[in-house]
């Protein structure tokens, strides 16, 4: 963005509550335009009716559009929106005018600039700004239009992205001061717009401030596509917007609690431009300027907003009353001060339909591994057989068993991995009880990861990228991930191979951290390192230090890469004991106990199958920890002998002691609660194991 526009706009927003204009459509209706007005000379012979295509008026009746801008500026608007709400090729296709999308946006921005520049020239102390408006599209990326086919989409990400890019080029070429992605009912549509904005601004070599405004469709406090306000913010904050806010759908009274929630979490300016009340039986808006401005005045007096205005049903009279109502009221202060620092997060924030914020007091985060064709034979067989509905049940069980993120991987030789990833994630999006949690898109092929990201409206995690193919490819992939708003797992893997020693793990992670934060612009809290959990007790001497190396590397990485997280695939540790679940579960619990103490934040685990650390038999725990810490040369042999004694001739693990069933009611309840609860549902206290509670947190 040009420094003078951003600084001028920022200074104005810090000094007073800014006013954005009212409804363009409401004002156009008052002109009672006919078919000929929409056709003009340019579309005189067009084969379809054009009445109602308001965006086209920027080409056929620019005088009307400029007059509306002038009326809102005279009423006190600091920011006016271009007449481009439906000016993408996708929306214009309804009138067979898609090929004119660029011209419409160019003309609309020019008209608005003429009006804004005129008022700024008259009073330079009160500069006026043009916001290039990008509407929500008339199709959704997250929802199927066919209730009988939840995996169907009438629109795909790249089509939306390309349409938005064309619109952005027109708006920027026409002179828009900033860009406004508004009335967002589907966050994935918004993310396509934000991706396009980043691409075009990089292409043009200049940046504009970006405003983002969502819409809450009813009293549930969620967007039409199901996200909470907090999850919406987390999903779009990677754009580092100038402002975020809410508009349309609700009146000011109904908007207040949702605006309050957004104001509490967002680290940028807050906007609000509601409708003039709720529509009546005829779809009209009855709230008077006086009634509406009383509610918006409450927003201002409560310190919730920086920018206010009106949406459907509002006129220059509404805007004039709102401007008068908020005059002299201090704008909402920005959390964390001013400038770039306010866009940086203190905590890792992820989202599905609901937020997942990883704070210092947050429990260890379970990443469910069973929706991974390499981690679950059952899931792999279902996917290969095309039984996606049954495969969804595996995902549901992972969430029910305590997984806070689900890891989805389709890397199997007999699968079209990209197609399988897309089909499964589109179905996940239609299941709120699964889609509420963030998704980790997992693949060794980056094109599969990209395909997955294009299906997810929340803030996801990419698993993984690395320096394996060199720095240039690492940066390319990281830029794409950041444009999608995803956090990234970075493997400790470089041009020389996977890191197995402490020094190599730390060096690679430090190098990746510098590249991501300094060259790509990643927030440190969106970086998750995987320092490689390798199998121990394999009988190969070089493997004996693998557990120690991971734990110690984790401790150092957390010190040297502030803000970053550490994860790992926990099941890798126990591959040598496949078929003996009792030993594997105990190994995972013991390893996690020590790794979490060292700073491990999350891990890919089977949330429903893991032992309670304090309930591991002492003799088994002793042998496992001897292996984990390589305490003596024959530790592996001792664990193997012990493991063999735990299985019957059929190779099945011996059933656990059921003596607890004969104890008191209180003791049975305590045991049931401990064993039935998600194993990692409490934060591990930083104290010695000797004082550890009976339940593994």
pLDDT at residue 120, rounded to an integer: 97
Average pLDDT over residues 116-140: 97
Q: Are 3-343 and 459-691 the same fold in CATH?
A: yes
In this model, does residue 697 exceed pLDDT 50? no
DSSP-based helix, strand, coil % in the chain, nearest 5: 50, 15, 40
Q: What is the pLDDT of residue 670?
A: 56
What is the average per-residue pLDDT within 188-213?
98
574: closest CA among 500, 624, 647, 631?
624
Distance in angstroms (rounded) separating the CA atoms of residues 567 and 531: 8
Q: What is the mean pLDDT of residues 583-589?
A: 95
Q: In the CATH scheme, what architecture does the domain 459-691 have?
A: Alpha-Beta Barrel (3.20)
Tens of pLDDT, residue by residue over 630-651, are: 999 999 999 999 998 886 433 3
- Candidates 182, 181, 175, 180; CA nearest to 204 is 175
> In the predicted model, is pLDDT for residue 658 greater than 70?
no
Torsions phi, psi for 112 (to 5 deg): -65, -40
Given this model, what pLDDT does residue 345 score? 79
Rounded Cα gap, residues 228 and 648, in angstroms = 51
The pLDDT, as a whole number, for residue 605 is 86
Angle, CA 419 vertex, CA 461 and CA 444 arms, to 5°: 45
3-class DSSP string for 169-222:
HHHHHCCCCEEEEEEECCHHHHHHHHHHHHHHHHHHCCCCCEEEEECCCCCCCE
Query: What is the rounded average pLDDT for all residues in the chain?
Result: 91
Tens of pLDDT, residue by residue over 72-103, are: 999 999 999 999 999 999 999 999 999 999 99
Q: What pLDDT is stored for residue 523 in this prediction?
A: 97
276-293 pLDDT, tens digit per residue, is: 877 776 677 778 898 898
Residue 287: its pLDDT value, please?
A: 83
Strands 487-491 and 527-530: parallel
Q: Which two tokens stand for residue 602?
A: 């999350």
CB atoms within 10 A of CB 76: 19
Least confident of 210-219, 517-526, 542-551: 210-219
- Residue 252 pLDDT > 60: yes
Q: Which fold has domain 3-343?
A: TIM Barrel (3.20.20)
Give the model confidence (pLDDT) of 360-413 as tens digits.
899 899 999 999 999 899 999 999 999 999 999 999 999 999 999 999 999 998
Compute the average pLDDT of residues 321-337. Answer: 90
pLDDT tens readout for residues 423-444: 999 999 999 999 999 999 999 9
Phi, psi of 153 (to 5 degrees): -130, 135
Helix (H) or strand (E) holding 71: helix 62-75
* Domains of the chain, residue spans: 3-343, 459-691
Q: Is the pTM of this model over 0.85?
A: yes
Mean pLDDT on 445-461 = 98
Q: What percent of the chain clears pLDDT 90, i.e. is strictly above it?
A: 82
């Amino acid at each position: 963005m040009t420094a003078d526009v951003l600084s001028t706009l920022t200074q104005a927003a810090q000094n007073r509550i800014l006013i954005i204009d009212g409804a363009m459509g409401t004002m156009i209706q008052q002109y009672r335009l006919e078919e000929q007005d929409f056709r003009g000379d340019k579309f005189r012979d067009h084969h379809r009716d054009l009445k109602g295509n308001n965006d086209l008026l920027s080409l056929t009746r620019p005088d009307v559009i400029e007059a509306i801008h002038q009326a809102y500026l005279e009423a006190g608007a600091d920011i006016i929106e271009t007449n481009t709400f439906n000016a993408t090729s996708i929306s214009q296709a309804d009138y067979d005018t898609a090929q004119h999308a660029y011209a419409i946006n160019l003309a609309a921005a020019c008209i608005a600039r003429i009006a804004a520049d005129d008022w700024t020239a008259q009073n330079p102390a009160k500069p006026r700004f043009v916001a290039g408006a990008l509407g929500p599209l008339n199709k959704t990326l997250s929802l199927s239009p066919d209730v009988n086919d939840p995996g169907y989409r009438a629109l795909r990400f790249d089509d939306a992205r390309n349409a938005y890019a064309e619109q952005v080029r027109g708006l920027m070429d026409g002179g828009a001061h900033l860009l406004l992605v508004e009335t967002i009912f589907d966050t994935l549509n918004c993310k396509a717009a934000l991706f396009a904005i980043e691409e075009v601004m990089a292409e043009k070599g200049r940046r504009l401030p970006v405003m983002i405004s969502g819409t809450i469709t009813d009293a549930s406090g969620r967007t039409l596509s199901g996200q909470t306000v907090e999850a919406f913010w987390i999903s779009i904050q990677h754009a580092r917007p100038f402002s975020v806010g809410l508009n349309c759908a609700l009146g000011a009274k109904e908007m207040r609690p949702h605006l309050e929630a957004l104001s509490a979490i967002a680290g940028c300016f807050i906007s609000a431009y509601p409708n003039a009340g709720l529509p009546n039986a005829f779809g009209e808006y009855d709230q008077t300027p006086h009634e509406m401005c009383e509610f918006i005045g409450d927003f201002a007096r409560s310190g919730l907003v920086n920018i206010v205005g009106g949406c459907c049903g509002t006129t220059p009279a509404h805007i004039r009353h709102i401007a008068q109502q908020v005059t002299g009221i201090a704008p909402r202060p920005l959390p964390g001060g001013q400038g770039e620092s306010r866009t940086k997060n203190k905590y890792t924030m992820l989202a599905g339909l609901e937020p997942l914020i990883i704070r210092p007091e947050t429990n260890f985060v379970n990443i469910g591994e069973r929706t991974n064709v390499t981690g679950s034979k059952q899931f792999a067989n279902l996917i290969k057989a095309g039984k996606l509905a049954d495969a969804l049940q595996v995902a549901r069980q992972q969430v029910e068993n305590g997984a806070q993120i689900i890891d989805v991987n389709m890397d199997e030789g007999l699968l079209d991995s990209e197609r399988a990833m897309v089909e499964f994630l589109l179905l996940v999006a239609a299941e709120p009880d699964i889609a509420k949690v963030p998704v980790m898109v997992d693949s060794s092929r980056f094109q599969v990861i990209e395909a997955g990201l294009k299906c997810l409206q929340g803030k996801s995690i990419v698993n993984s990228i690395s320096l394996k193919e060199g720095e240039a490819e690492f940066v390319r992939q990281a830029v794409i991930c950041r444009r999608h708003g995803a956090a990234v797992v970075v493997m400790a893997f470089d041009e020389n191979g996977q890191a197995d020693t402490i020094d190599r793990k730390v060096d690679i992670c430090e190098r990746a951290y510098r590249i991501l934060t300094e060259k790509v612009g990643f927030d440190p809290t969106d970086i998750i390192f995987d320092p490689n959990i390798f199998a121990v007790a394999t009988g190969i001497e070089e493997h004996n230090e693998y557990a120690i190396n991971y734990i110690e590397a984790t401790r150092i990485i957390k010190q040297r890469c502030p803000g970053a997280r550490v994860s790992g695939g926990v099941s890798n540790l126990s591959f040598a004991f496949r078929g003996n679940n009792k030993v594997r579960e105990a190994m995972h619990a013991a390893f996690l106990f020590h790794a979490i103490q060292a700073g491990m934040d999350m891990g890919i685990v089977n949330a429903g199958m893991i032992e309670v650390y304090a309930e591991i038999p002492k003799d088994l725990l002793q042998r496992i920890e001897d292996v984990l810490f390589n305490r003596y040369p024959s530790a592996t042999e001792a664990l193997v002998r012990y493991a063999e004694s735990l299985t019957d001739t059929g190779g099945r693990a011996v059933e656990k002691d059921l003596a607890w069933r004969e104890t008191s009611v209180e003791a049975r309840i305590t045991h049931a609660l401990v064993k039935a609860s998600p194993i990692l549902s409490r934060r591990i206290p930083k104290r010695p194991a000797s004082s550890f509670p009976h339940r593994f947190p």
